[in-house]
Structure 1
């Protein structure tokens, strides 16, 4: 073999890059091999419409990364390599068809005024939740940041019991098992407040009636109130570029345009990889695959029947379509100019509509009323567009990876090449209804279908941006497979990382950092 490393990493997503940096810092020689021409996976930025307009390809919100244990350890080093964030004081809001809105600002008085306008009682509830967040956050974040091993889980339960008692611990367990709708309807009275928070569940494949999803609307609401949001200065790729530079500065290698075709192993132990150009790269201590579970069996050409079978049945969430818009000006929201000051505007009018959209996408139908997440990053980071211009980041949820039909009966195409334009027009019509005149402000647009998302990054199977459903049967100890939530595999020295591994999706780098700490020590 011409090249050899202590660790060879497949894929240059932020999790594998985080693992590579930590291993480098612990003295390992690392090599990262990425099939795409640009590192970053879903965390990258480019001029996808017009020169000077910088669009985040998929991930825009970097709050989890900025607040992660990984960034606490390596933030100063990444800063020296150009990583920079822009704080967002108005992280999200929801616009409704009746011209009203509800939103969250880091100014609690402002948030309460918005909620009080639709429900004084819900404003009181919001105050109570915010006041109690400081006591609840350590338990929830402690769970999400804990290695998913029986000993670690037992220790977490012991600490929780000591802090909360039996009753409080049971209440927490019930909350963790609840669906978004169950918790939201128990907690808030107004449908708009429920919808504002329920939209966050859809980001992680938790439709309103899916058990185990209540935590995410709660955490996003409370964290948005307490901390706001963070986006990348100049684009989300500020993270990727800094990670690559830091790895190289420590003597590691990151090679793009290098497709891995095989993981080499013999006698139950991984020894390296083979590339499409026939090169063989040796790994003395670890091969780390940042791939979707189903791809691992193809690369290994078989581990054990039970493990490979479980990977093949790993379930992916419905897909997403992205619409990148270069804008002459921001949308004029019917609900008021205040929405021009929010990073995200959700167009998801009710829990019932979200549930219907989700079921339609699961059935392979183009939803009759898809959910839109309208990102307005240039409100906070004008450097992403020419002076006076803007970009809109429009995430269309949900969209089936494979089209079986159209729930509205208007689109006959069943291939994304033909369905992309009419489905994008459906989404833009929803945006136009909430912000009349938006179409006239579009200078250029780029539609990215679920098929294109997967072609660019094979981990986004069917356009699934979270690399696998987070439903209870596929989360915690079961992500991706029971007994392997730490990224281990039946082959010694071969490890899986990325959003398919506990603690799952998001930009927090948890799967990569936890694995690297396990391999090389804290």
Structure 2
């Protein structure tokens, strides 16, 4: 039987960060991935959607990774393997139906001037936000980078109490529960500023009227203002290859087409895994599983190893809205009808009718309807990394975060969804609506189009079993499934009821986002456990 010190199930960003970090710490690591390629939701293809184009078909942008703790810890190895990031001073922009535009720059004065242009006082409000929330950023980001049910979590809570005082801590907590609508309406006057900032909560699977979305909106806005929206040159596959290379260069294994069907246990401890072909892989020290709660507690572990309340909690774990990806290859860069100079340089342009339109589309998708006016996340990776397209060409990476996993109808009353199955016909007709709407803002969309590739929620789930119903975030990020409650209130952080088994991935704290934080948090515990005397290990 093959054996490793640590077996990692899955190969998404958290799994690969964990595996690479363990390999650097001298552990023999085996990564086992059921799909034919490594990377999880990082999937780069060449000659897609047209010859000469390189496209990140799923996740594309890496601000959480570059701005988080995993990148600096591994940067020397990643640099040596040729991972290079490109950034822009305009990570975010928006264009509304009426043609009004706004930008968020890494230069605070530029953003403030643009906000002031839109509404007197909004520029000062932005500067005040950066100062006020920035002074508490250590607490906010600390909550998203700390194992909360632990001594480190207790230290963070005590630090917050010391810095803010009892009344200030209560106020900070209350602000953390407010919606994005409440925060934006209370701070900024301009509807265009609302349209710039509110769509970002969709990148955590929330809507602007959800509790806790205000906190997420602030965190993302500050992260963009401080760190931009970088992409790796050549696509996300470069990061995947580099992380896997750290593992294999250290003598470890990274296998694809290796479907783990069972986590084996003995004496209440994880001892290894079994593959679909019957092969058994031993784990001398630990198993890390980057899977959903249902997969872990209802399928991979034997029932005798999982307490009944944990199984029940896993059954109740909920998934969010689905996602659709539309990739457009253009013979020239996109020409925006409004504010071309600035919008052409932005990493991501949100196209919507404003915050009310965003809210309406979220509501329609939650009622399993195809939104009549979906919010369009228009990414422009070639504006940062020209190597992804032929010389002089352009590309648009479109994401529709308000897409029902199985639609029951169309809010516009134009598309027959049939039985809700995402057929090729349904997928392409809904993509036509999106592209037609975007064409009102990008004047050369028809004339420059040379290729199109569309992925439905059904396609996403077929590619990656963690994306249940096409949910790109592997679980709803509502407050009852976030922070100490992610994935459930019955589980303790990344630990599981089985000794030596850790649960990682987007379904676990701190949730989705290409950061690798959950993998890093679990690794810290694995390494700390290994340093303790055998009788004290848990």
Q: CA deviation at 1:380?
A: 1.4
Question: Map of 1:132-143 to 2, 5 A cutoff?
Answer: 132-143=132-143
Range that drifts further, 369-378 or 168-177: 168-177
> Which residue is 1:342 aligned to?
346
2:465 pairs with one of 453, 458, 466: 458
Q: Counterpart in 1 of 2:45?
A: 46
1:415 and 2:414 are equivalent in the alignment: no
Aligned to 2:27: 28
Report the CA distance between 1:330 and its aligned residue: 2.3
Q: Aligned residue for 1:107?
A: 107
Distance in 1 separating the partners of 2:333 and 2:218 = 29
The 8 Å contact of residues 44 and 240 in structure 1, kept in 2 or not, is answered as no
Aligned pairs for 1:224-263 within 5 A: 224-263=224-263
Q: Give the TM-score taking structure 2 as reference length.
A: 0.94
Pairwise CA distance, 1:483 = 4.7
Identify the residue that residue 9 of structure 1 maps to in structure 2.
8
Deviations 1:18-59 (A, max 9, x none): 111122222221100111111111123112312321111221
Match of 2:380 among 361, 376, 380: 376
Q: Which residue of 2 aligns with 1:312?
A: 315
Shifted more, 260-269 versus 365-374: the winner is 260-269
Question: Deviation per CA, 1:318-370, whole angstroms, max 9, x where unpaired?
Answer: 01000111111222212221211101000132222222211211221111111
> Partners of 2:397 and 2:256 in 1: how far apart?
26
* Deviation by residue 1:298-328 (Cα, 9 ceiling, x = unmatched): 1224222211121121111101000111111
SS in 1 for 2:440: helix
CA contact (8 A) 1:485 1:502 kept: no
- The CA RMSD over aligned residues, in Å, is 1.5
Are the counterparts in 2 of residues 11 and 289 from structure 1 also a CA contact under 8 Å? yes
Shift of 1:222: 2.3
Say which of 356, 360, 381 aligns to 1:356.
Answer: 360
Partner residue, 1:177:
177
Deviation at 1:389, TM superposition (A): 0.9
Give per-residue Cα distances to partners, 1:119-174, cap 9 Å, x unaligned.
12111101222233441211211221111215333321211121122232222111
Partner Cα separation in structure 2 for residue 468 and residue 108 of structure 1:
34
Partner of 1:367: 371
Mapping for residues 15-414 of structure 1, pairs under 5 Å:
15-47=14-46, 48-296=48-296, 297-302=298-303, 303-337=306-340, 338-413=342-417, 414=420
**Deviations 1:356-410 (CA, angstroms, capped at 9, x unpaired):** 2112112211111111100001111100011111221000121111121111111
Q: Distance in 1 between matches of 2:170 and 2:494?
A: 29
Aligned length: 521
Q: Return the match for 1:431 from 434, 438, 454.
A: 438
1:331 to 1:390, Cα distance in 2 relative to 1, 3 A: closer
- Inter-partner Cα distance in structure 1 for 2:96 and 2:127: 23
Deviation at 1:270, TM superposition (A): 1.9
Q: Assess, with a 3 A threshold, how the Cα gap between structure 1 residues 293 and 410 changes in structure 2: closer, same or farther.
A: same
State the 4+ residue runs in structure 1 displaced beyond 4 angstroms.
none
- Asked if the contact 2:32–2:259 (Cα under 8 Å) also holds between the matched residues in 1, the reply is yes
CA displacement at 1:229 relative to structure 2: 1.9
Deviations 1:456-479 (A, max 9, x none): 111111111111111111111110
Q: Distance in 2 between matches of 1:192 and 1:171?
A: 28
Contact 2:313 2:490 (C-alpha < 8 Å) held by counterparts: no
Aligned equivalents of 2:447 and 2:309: distance in 1? 55
Q: 1:424 offset after TM fit, Å?
A: 0.2
CA distance, structure 2, for counterparts of residue 265 and residue 153 of structure 1 = 29
CA contact (8 A) 1:485 1:501 kept: no
The CA deviation string for residues 400-437 of structure 1, in whole angstroms up to 9 with x for no partner, is 11121111111113221131011000111110122233
C-alpha spacing 1:50/1:78, structure 2 compared with 1 (3 Å): same
Does the aligned pair in 2 maintain the 1:81–1:246 contact within 8 Å? no
Alpha-carbon contact 2:141-2:219 (below 8 Å) kept = no
Matched, 1:501 2:520: no
Give the C-alpha shift of residue 185 in structure 1.
Answer: 1.1
